[in-house]
Amino acid sequence: MTVPAAPQAEGMPSSSPASAVPAVRLREVTRDYRRQRTSMFTPAPVVRALRGVSLDIAQGQRFGIVGESGCGKSTLLRIIAGLDQPTTGSVEIDGTDISRLPERRLGFLRERLQLVFQDPMGSLDPRMKVRDIIAEPLVSQGKRDNLPRVLELLEAVGLQSEAADRYPHQFSGGQRQRISIARALAPDPRILVADEPVSALDVSVRAQVLNLLDELVERLSLTLIFVSHDLSVIRHVCDSVAVMTRGEVVEVGATEQIYQQAEHAYTRALIAAAPRLRTALAGRTAADLAADTLAAKESR
């Protein structure tokens, strides 16, 4: 696969093109959802899914977002990908504010940013052949004769060219996730957003897919935004991480720094709660996990 020139490189001072315009800049982003009304006489209750999130993700960074269910990480991702709009606040992708843009003006974003989802079966159309699935983002950009590009992408994600004429159900979970990755890479994006891409996979296949992502991000100099509930996966993949809980980012920093010395009680609880093979074999039981988690939650 050819490595495209980074779009911001032209006309920028060569010394620090990366730091000039962040790939993603969020300022005070909030998102309110209205619940169903429970009474005719009172307004519908409002759920605040995001509460003033500000983040900068630099070009070429491998950025992790970690948090438990309901923390707002999926809402944040949808807003970054332009699939949802914030209630207040601004979202800039490569310097362009997308927070108030209508769908018809988001075409540039679909070229620049692509997504890989958790469930590869749910995100691949079962009635489409793999070649059409992978070419779909190109077709929507008005490109024709995409087969050479499809074959190139299949090779890049480690699938045989015969895969092009088969359907998603003919593949295993790990292979389907490779197809999703190939589709995401088709329009040559600069930013790859992965939402729990390995959570539904078997352990032996998870390592293959993580290695593939690692290799592609490096080879294509992509900016990676990787969402997971599993801090150990984030630690392996990402150089920076934001920890979210209850719609807020409570801690941002270098992954290793946070892993070693978390500032926030919630982050410490998250680290304490995750069982690890080495420490478990050294004698850390479920009782220790529970006690450490509770202690970390209550610490300040």
Partner 1 sequence: MIGESGSGKSLTALSIMGLLAESLEPFGSVTVTGQDGRHTQVVGTAEGDLAAMRGRDVTMIFQEPMTALNPTMRVGAQVAEVMRIHRTVPDRHTAAARAVELLDKVGLPDPAEAAKAYPHQLSGGQRQRVVVAMALANDPALLICDEPTTALDVTVQALVLDLIVRGVEARNAGMLFITHDLAVVASVCERVLVMYGGRVVEAGDVQQVFTQPRHRYTRGLIGASDLDLTRPDGRLYTIQGSVPSAGALPHGCVFRNRCIHATVECESQPRWEGSGPEDGFACWHPVRVRDAQGVGGS
- Say if residues 147 and 131 touch (Cβ distance below 8 Å): yes
| DSSP secondary structure string for all residues of 195-223 | ESTTTTS-HHHHHHHHHHHHHHHHHTT-E
Tell me how far, at minimum, the Cβ of 225 lies from partner 1, in Å. 19
Q: Which of 22, 72, 174, 187 binds partner 1 (CB under 8 A)?
A: 174
**Per-residue exposure over 145-161, b if at least 16 CB sit within 10 Å of its own CB, e if not:** ebeebbbbbbebbbbee
Q: Which of 274, 298, 299, 300 binds partner 1 (CB under 8 A)?
A: 274
- Say if residues 299 and 266 touch (Cβ distance below 8 Å): no
Distance CA(179)–CA(173), nearest Å, equals: 10
Site residue total, partner 1 (CB under 8 A): 46
Binding flag, residue 147, partner 1 (CB under 8 A): no
Binding flag, residue 261, partner 1 (CB under 8 A): no
Q: Which of 68, 147, 191, 244 binds partner 1 (CB under 8 A)?
A: 68
List phi, psi (to 5°) of 64.
-100, 145
Single-letter amino acid, residue 113:
L
Element (H, E) at 245: strand 240-245
Q: Which of 203, 260, 298, 300 binds partner 1 (CB under 8 A)?
A: 203
List phi, psi (to 5°) of 59.
-60, 135
Binding flag, residue 119, partner 1 (CB under 8 A): no
Binding flag, residue 48, partner 1 (CB under 8 A): no
Binding flag, residue 250, partner 1 (CB under 8 A): no
Q: Toward partner 1, which CB reaches closer, 140 or 285?
A: 285
Binding site for partner 1 (CB under 8 A): 68-69, 172-175, 202-208, 210-211, 214-215, 229-233, 235-236, 269-270, 272-278, 280-281, 284-287, 289-294, 297
